[in-house]
Amino acid sequence: MQISFENPDKVNGLLTITVEENDFKDDVEKTLKDYRKRANVPGFRPGQVPMGMIKRQFGTQVKVDVINKLLGENLDKYITDNKINMLGQPLPHEGQAPVDLEKAAPYTFQFDIAVAPEFEAKLSGRDKVAYYDIKVDDDLIDKQVDMFASRAGSYAKADVYDPEQRDVLKGDLRELDANGNTLEGGITLSDESLMPVYFDDEAEKEKFANAKPGDIITFNPTAAYKGKDTSIAALLKCDRDKVGEHKGDFTFQVTEVSRFVKHEVNAELWEGIYGKDSGIKDEKGFREAIAKGLAEQLKGDSDFKFLQDVRAHVLKKIGKVQYPDELLKRILLANNSKNLKTEEDKKKFIDNNYAGSLETLTWDLAKNQLAEAQKIKVDTPDIKEAAAEMARMQFAQYGMTSIPDEYVAKYAEELLKKPETVQQMADRALDTKLTAALKDVVKLDHKEISLDDFNKMLEEGNK
């Protein structure tokens, strides 16, 4: 077997592999003998089928399989041994003539290789990057206290319906006939829930003003929701195509007014969030715990923005990079071939995605250089910790901040059962370690900012 590699412009590579008869002959013969041992052909005892028949039936396919395996192994080995920094996967050379494996060897195969461009990504104390310190003020703590109190809240009975409180009315719903009597065979629902505040028609909303248990209110669902079949069907518990059969009035007899009440800010609330062993003794301690948690959470947001700014700074320093554009476009199309049916689809996909993919690719290559310069490596414990942190964040979204470590570990283990999640966590772990390292490398330009202004800045940056 002969392998050669041409790379005249440093980014477009052509790898040529010439396969001789001796490279695959023995493996083909061995595989065909195994086929013969297992072949079950009428008229022949097991293992006694003539080899000529086995070769006629399976010879070509076995030869193809063996050569494909041989090509894959040697192609990968050559790229690794020669430290070729390949982008994407090798593609058959566009000028490659079809190889007829029915003919005798040698066979020549050519592959186009996209080679990563050479550039240098370096950072030092001479590089100045903004770092946004998000303020944890009383207003922010108040909002978090309110959120915790709302999540732990519950519904309680009220005397009179108040739409401002988003009250829920419970009662019995009955369909009426043209004379205002209960319609025989009409819709009758018990213990139905109703929120007039979400009606689309103001006049229908007003009918429920100051409603209290025992009141019987006549209203029209079709008018209330202005003919929106989905909303009407949900209220009447009927199919959407049946809504047109129930355009008349209904009565709603109120049996209960239910009002959502936030949890009182007391020991029960903070113990439910932080646990009984948290050491919190009063509301001041509760707010301090919230402030500490917010500071840690917002540090993550600040770090995220910092790495975004590092990326922009590094890409600007690197400038324009030469890529094997036509080959990379072929690779991009090959990776998304299932969704691209026509030439117009392909053109539109490249127009919309190629420039962005190059920027991401340049940053990935630069990021690897920066990580190598800081001697950063990501191993299994880092990936597990990234998954655990993701689990904690997801629990925290539901106000669950004191989840035992064993539950976090179990959830993280479930996350890592998906191969794509493992790669995501590896990328996340690299970003975390690189961010921490680069904060000690570059000169930080600290800027204090409110959370609202910080979020507005991120929104503007994403437009």
Q: pLDDT by residue (tens digit) across 338-396?
A: 888 899 999 999 999 999 999 999 999 999 999 999 999 999 999 999 999 888 877 77
Q: Which residue has the tokens 């007899």?
A: 253
The whole-number pLDDT of residue 405 equals 77
Choose the weakest-confidence range: 45-54, 160-169, 357-366, 398-407.
398-407
Q: What is the pLDDT of residues 264-318, one digit of tens each?
A: 999 999 998 888 888 999 999 999 999 998 998 899 999 999 999 999 999 999 9
227, 260, 261: which is closest to 246 by C-alpha? Answer: 227
Q: What is the pLDDT of residues 220-236, one digit of tens each?
A: 999 999 999 999 999 99
Q: What percent of the chain has pLDDT over 90?
A: 75
Asked if residues 54 and 32 have their Cβ atoms less than 8 Å apart, the reply is: yes
Query: Do the bridges between strand 107-115 and strand 86-92 make them parallel or antiparallel, or are there none, so unpaired?
Result: antiparallel
The residue-averaged pLDDT of 193-203 equals 95
**Helical pair 21-38 and 51-81, crossing angle rounded to 10 deg:** 130
The whole-number pLDDT of residue 101 equals 87
Structure tokens at 150: 């709302």
What separation in angstroms does the CA of 294 have from each of 212, 285, 302? 42, 14, 12
CA dihedral angle for residue 282, residue 287, residue 291, residue 292, rounded to 10 degrees: 20
Whether the predicted pLDDT of 462 surpasses 80 = no
> H helices of 126-262, where?
138-151, 202-206, 221-224, 229-236
Q: What is the pLDDT of residues 121-179, one digit of tens each?
A: 999 999 999 999 999 999 999 999 999 999 889 999 999 999 999 899 999 999 999 99
Query: Whole-structure pTM over 0.75, yes or no?
Result: no
CA quadruple 391, 397, 398, 403: dihedral positive or negative?
A: positive
Q: Which residue has the tokens 């959502």?
A: 260
Distance CA 315, CA 123 (A): 12
Whether the predicted pLDDT of 454 surpasses 90 = yes
Stronger pLDDT, 407 or 215, i.e. the higher one: 215
Asked if residues 257 and 211 have their Cβ atoms less than 8 Å apart, the reply is: yes
181, 179, 254, 252: which is closest to 218 by C-alpha? Answer: 252
Choose the weakest-confidence range: 52-56, 238-242, 445-449.
52-56
Q: What percent of the chain has pLDDT over 70?
A: 98
